[in-house]
Copies of this chain bind each other. A is one copy, B any other.
Amino acid sequence: MSSSSGRVIAVDTHDIRFPTSRELDGSDAMNPDPDYSAAYVVLRTDADDALEGHGFTFTIGRGNEVQVAAIEALRPHVLGRPVDELCADPGSLVRDLTGDSQLRWLGPEKGVMHMAIGAVANAVWDLAAKRARKPLWQLLADATPEWLVAQVDFRYIADVLTPEDALHLLRRGREGSAARTELLRERGFPGYTTSPGWLGYSDEKLTRLARQAVADGFTQIKLKVGADLADDMRRCRAARAAVGPGIRIAIDANQRWNVGEAIEWTKALAEFDPYWIEEPTSPDDVLGHASVREAVAPVKVATGEHVQNRIIFKQLLQAGAVDVLQIDAARVGGVNENLAILLLAAKFGVPVCPHAGGVGLCELVQHLSMFDYVALAGTVEDRVIEYVDHLHDHFLDPVVIGEGHYMAPTAPGFSATMRPESIAEFTFPGGAFWAADLAERARGEQRTAKGRKGEAA
């Protein structure tokens, strides 16, 4: 390896927060006031091509600084790595990151440390795809089954999915992939929209946005539920009236319920023909989801956005606990672990309908679904990617939606690169937006304190 091919010379981190809580965008039964945020990482190299790898973890505000600290704890593993080797085998880095015996204690493979690993791994994949001059979905679809299998960590899942199983699935997945690539480029991948259904919206806004969604070509919408049953019934009725019988309405409780509550509440909403109930209870509760699924059929059970790793996904499939698997691009250990999860889903024949929204999650996860369609599952039947119309303008290569479909990205990379001016403005607490905001709050507090003094005097 010649030194001119470059090494990683910097792992820059950014604490970026958008003040979304002020509009009640993104409000649900568990998350009343999220400030959509990213713990953002940029890998810089001294290679001649001057390409950077961008990655991030999505959070909803407070604690984003903890996530940044976790990414920084990984820095020594990344600095100095030869770029060619890194991009030729991102899995080698991921194994080092998950295998750091001291950091592993903080998980293992879950929560803050694991999300940090995902951010760094995804930054490497972004760099690898940029260097290959391909959008990530295509890099994955063009890769050999053998190479893809080598990117997967089979530890703790080999009792259900062996490397040989994975090879078989990927070889089968390649059959007809050229034709599917053409179809994908032409039509895109189906999406569904959550934009009408935030809990903080009025019925009028819900109805208007639901109609708009159908007009825009979406065949599925989603409503947040779980705070108040009477409200949920009224909102589901309004949504069903707005979209008619032919459109799927998913409902999403964001982990609000115990198992028993989940069953009762879902049955109470069944008259509005919900397509799936999402996150009925804790994402850790495999057996709980199995109970819910058995009780609420034919309403389907979906979960995954908060599922911590491939080991829980494995068990959700083993236990027959879900009808729909919802991967998230930035919660597990990056593309590598999502490959494992896509392979598990393929083995069990369960459709993958990714979670998205937040900051940049749509941008990332579309690549994984498109790879799944072209080169693994081989179908879009009952597959949809969540779409939320938030914050896309902050990205250099934002998602493009046409007729309710995600259009296939064509730019090289993982669509993860945020605009430099957005990073500058929304860096917390020093960026222009937050500096002004915090100064304004401080003035407000001063005025209040003076008022109180006046009263007391």
Contact = CB atoms under 8 A, between A and B. Distances in A.
Interface of A: 30-35, 59-63, 65-67, 69-70, 73, 100-115, 154-156, 158-159, 255, 258-260, 281-288, 291, 306, 308-309, 311-312, 314-315, 318-319
A319 B315 CA distance: 12
Contacts of A283: 108
Given A34-B101, A34-B102, A104-B30, A66 B112 contact: yes
A314 B287 CA distance: 10
A115 to B, nearest CB: 7
A35 B110 CA distance: 21
Given A155-B258, A282-B311, A103 B287 contact: no
B106 A66 contact: yes
Contacts of A314: 285
Given A260-B159, A286-B315, A62 B308 contact: no
Q: Is the interface of A mostly helix, strand, loop or mixed?
A: loop
A374 to B, nearest CB: 30
Given A101-B31, A285-B156, A65 B69 contact: yes
B62 A103 contact: yes
Task: Please give me the 7 A-B residue pairs with the lowest Cβ-Cβ distance, nearest first.
Answer: A111-B111, A112-B112, A159-B259, A62-B102, A61-B102, A156-B282, A284-B311
Contacts of A69: 65-66, 69
A60 B101 contact: yes
B288 A159 contact: yes
Contacts of A260: 158-159
B286 A102 contact: no
Given A156-B281, A159-B259, A319-B287, A111 B102 contact: no
Nearest to A100: B62
Contacts of A34: 101-102, 105
A284 B312 contact: yes
A303 to B, nearest CB: 13
18 contacts: A31-B105, A62-B102, A63-B73, A63-B106, A66-B106, A70-B112, A106-B111, A109-B284, A110-B111, A111-B111, A111-B308, A156-B258, A156-B281, A156-B284, A159-B291, A284-B315, A286-B286, A286-B287
Contacts of A306: 108
A103 B63 contact: yes
A319 B100 CA distance: 31
B60 A102 contact: yes
Contacts of A255: 108
Given A34-B101, A62-B103, A108-B283, 5 more contacts: A34-B102, A156-B281, A159-B288, A284-B309, A285-B311
A436 to B, nearest CB: 21
Contacts of A259: 158-159
A35 B100 CA distance: 13
A267 to B, nearest CB: 16
A105 B308 CA distance: 11
Contacts of A60: 101-102, 105
Nearest to A33: B101
A105 B33 contact: no
Contacts of A111: 106-107, 110-114, 308
Nearest to A58: B105
Contacts of A286: 286-287, 315
A306 B106 CA distance: 9
